[in-house]
Amino acid sequence: MSPSFPSDSAPHTGPRVSADPQEAAAGLRAGGVWAFPTETFYGLGCSLFDADAVRRVYQLKRRPVQRPLPVLAGDMAQLEALVRLDEAPRGLLEQFWPGPLTVLLSPLPETTSRLPEQVRGPSGKLAVRLTPHPLTALLSREAGAPLTCSSANLSGQPAARLARELPPELLAPLDGPHDGVLVAGPEPHGGLPSSIAEPLPDGGLRLLRAGAVSAQALREAGFACRE
């Protein structure tokens, strides 16, 4: 049985808190914005193809629209239908996915028209990764689309590893009929955020953000990496 949501006219006093990933996935399918655990920190996100929900994520985080939102996928099939995986250096994705390495890749022509413009960077590419977190992966698959996912904090503030660390200023407006906070485990492990790498025409990589995957780790794996 599908989870039910209150009607749009029902009063809301704050975010729904749920331990049921199916309820969260139903909310995401309906256009909601949810906070949920990822492999590193709590994330705030929505369905990639829902332009209204994407705009709300920016508003909730007070994030500049010039900064594209990262995209998490639950399985390779979602990414194969979304971006040009062959732009990545051979072997990179097999070695570092699923994992905290975000890679800039071009969207496929057939998906470009469906993408909100805010999720594409100045080069027109998407910042994508295959998440190793089982709950995030399940959410993406059950929602039927990759998820935008930025750290669940106000732009420029520290990321939250645990649900109790989520800032009240972020949660207070998260009160739509399909919004919520997912508190099911496993908990994020914290540490460094995901790294962001851009494939270069010569087959190398440019590390745009050093994080959980270091430049040294990429070089030791056989990839030419510039910082």
pLDDT of residue 192 exceeding 80: yes
Enclosing domain of residue 113: 17-191
Q: What is the pLDDT of residue 5?
A: 37
Q: How would you label 136-146 residue by residue, b for 16+ Cβ within 10 Å and e otherwise?
A: bbbbbbebebb
pLDDT of residue 4: 38
Whether residue 173 is contained in a domain is answered as yes
Residue 6 has pLDDT above 90, yes or no: no
Per-residue model confidence (pLDDT) at position 156: 84
Question: Is 2 a domain residue?
Answer: no
- The total domain count for the chain is 1
Q: What is the pLDDT, as a whole number, of residue 13?
A: 58
Which CATH number fits the domain that encloses residue 164?
A: 3.90.870.10
Any domain includes 95: yes
Question: Is a pLDDT exceeding 90 seen at residue 63?
Answer: no
* Distance (Å, whole) CA 153 – CA 175: 16
User: Does the residue 184 lie in any domain?
Assistant: yes
pLDDT in tens, 132-181: 999 999 999 999 999 999 999 988 889 999 999 999 999 999 999 999 99
Contact 137, 74 (CB under 8 A): yes
How far apart are alpha carbons 226 and 201 in whole angstroms?
A: 13
Could you report the per-residue pLDDT of 11-50, keeping only the tens digit for each?
Answer: 445 789 999 999 999 999 999 999 999 999 999 999 999 9
In a domain, 7, yes or no: no
Report the pLDDT value the prediction gives residue 91, as an integer from 0 to 100.
Answer: 96
Residue 2 has pLDDT above 50, yes or no: no
Q: CB of 20 within 8 A of CB of 184?
A: yes
Beta-carbon contacts of residue 41 (< 8 Å; ≥ 6 apart):
151, 152, 159, 160, 161, 188, 190, 193
For residue 12, is it within any domain? no
- The answer to whether the predicted template modeling score (pTM) of the entire model surpasses 0.75 is yes
Q: How many helices (H) and strands (E) does the chain have?
A: 8, 11
